[in-house]
Structure 1
Amino acid sequence: MRVLIAEDDPLLADGLTRTFNGHGHVADAVGDGRRADDLLRRDTFDLLVLDVNLPGIDGFEVARRARARGMAIPILMLTARDAVQDRVHGLNVGADDYLQKPFDKEELLARANALVRRSRAQRADTIVHGPLVMDLAARRCFVDGDPLDLPPREWLLLEYLLRNVERVVTKDQIVAAVCRWDEDMSGNAIEVYVSRLRAKLEPHDVRIRTVRGFGYMLQAAAPAR
């Protein structure tokens, strides 16, 4: 999953980032409520880990704005406050769960995974595109019934393209979808990953089109014969 962490304590933010990344996820942290709100407007995340006490705008307002825009992203709210009214207010403005500091990282991961599983269960767990089947829950992919071996970056790239069929996506958008912000990935690297995917998919008539000067587009699946 791709996680946005909004936490103004640098040590805690770093620890949370390391925890998620160490368990195979892609996590990035910001320390300001306005920055978090801006990124939620522009990017796609699977989970928001949101501290209540943020500079700029607080976590309650970040959550409220996200829900006002119709965003269904799961929100796990963190707080040092123990007042019942604060927990109730957080849930009322859109948080899905509440974790009080200090907390155990295993509990954090368990709650985060539960929220994301619940969210994905409300969406399609399987993406079908012609002969291609991507099982998101099982993390398995098949093409013409045969398993398709996809390293993590290729998996993330293919999932992103499948969620944007017939839409042109830029290299910058791809980098944002498959990388942490502290990772440096060049346009040439994106071309390499696209080339590898093409080699695996085009023999099965699943085509990634290059739109010169713009980016890439996964073409609509050919009608079944």
Structure 2
Amino acid sequence: MNILLLEDDLILSAELSKFLESNNFACDRIYDGETFLRQIKGNTYDLYLLDINVPKVNGLDVCQTIRSFDKVTPIFIISAYGDLSDKKDAFTRLADDYLVKPFQFEELLLRINSLLRRKTSADRVDQEIIRIDDLIINKTEQKVFRGTTEIALTLKEFQLLVYLAEAQGRIVSKQQITEHVWEHNFNTNTNTVEVYINFLRKKIDKDFKVKLIHTRSGFGYYLSPI
């Protein structure tokens, strides 16, 4: 796991980095907000650890900038500012946790591990749930919704819908559908694929304003809100 630390106190920065590395984290140290924002371009981290009162760009503004393009990487604020208004300001800018200095390193470690466990769990759930416009496909429970309306599908209809959704708007041919959904190559001159596409359209699109299942003549089918 990689952590990027923003802390201008050289002694605390070195101690934190050494402690985190002794607990199996890689930790890069940055001492001002401007350099920190340059560092995250083109580099991937599992968590950002930010002091507020740092040179050039303060930690709260760094937090807000990160959240403008990254909604998921945990952001942990460490600060000598302990007033409720300071904490409120940090959480308003979508920080995930806040610890007031001085603090015990062991408590910081417990909270970091908790944040990372939640992120891992959320990532796992997101992989099992597909969202396209107001369509929600829960692959684990094999349930489908348009908005709050649950739509009953047969197993083969569900498999076809998942295959279209996982193509992420790309066109898939009848041949590709038969290979992946039916798992064998029946004669694609038959109308089996068209029949099941029509089944899905009646259930997924018919009663809803935004149509999701589309045909490109001579090429195949795709699922998109446009």
Aligned pairs for 1:72-221 (under 5 A) are 72-124=72-124
Deviation at 1:38, TM superposition (A): 1.4
TM-score by length of 2: 0.54
Deviation at 1:16, TM superposition (A): 0.7
Deviation at 1:22, TM superposition (A): 0.4
- Cα deviations by residue, 1:18-61 (Å, 9 ceiling, x for unpaired): 01100111111100101111122221000111001110100000
**SS of 2:123 mapped into structure 1:** coil
- Cα deviations by residue, 1:194-219 (Å, 9 ceiling, x for unpaired): xxxxxxxxxxxxxxxxxxxxxxxxxx
Matched residues, percent identical?
32
Please tell me whether Structure 1 or Structure 2 has the larger radius of gyration of its CA atoms.
2
Asked if 1:27 corresponds to 2:33, the answer is no
Superposition RMSD in Å: 2.1
Write the letter of the residue equivalent to 1:81: Y
| Rounded Cα–Cα distance in structure 1 between residues aligned with 2:119 and 2:56 | 28
Map of 1:40 onto structure 2: 40
**SS of 2:40 mapped into structure 1:** helix
Write the letter of the residue equivalent to 1:75: I
Map of 1:54 onto structure 2: 54
**Higher RCO structure, 1 or 2 (CA under 8 Å, sep 6+):** 1
Map of 1:206 onto structure 2: none
Write the letter of the residue equivalent to 2:106: E
| Rounded Cα–Cα distance in structure 2 between residues aligned with 1:92 and 1:112 | 20
Write the letter of the residue equivalent to 1:69: F
- Cα deviations by residue, 1:179-206 (Å, 9 ceiling, x for unpaired): xxxxxxxxxxxxxxxxxxxxxxxxxxxx
| Rounded Cα–Cα distance in structure 1 between residues aligned with 2:24 and 2:66 | 26
**SS of 2:50 mapped into structure 1:** strand
Write the letter of the residue equivalent to 1:74: P
Map of 1:14 onto structure 2: 14
| Rounded Cα–Cα distance in structure 2 between residues aligned with 1:70 and 1:25 | 21
TM-score by length of 1: 0.54
Deviation at 1:14, TM superposition (A): 0.3
Runs (4 or more) in structure 1 with deviation over 2 Å come to none
Write the letter of the residue equivalent to 1:15: E
**SS of 2:82 mapped into structure 1:** coil
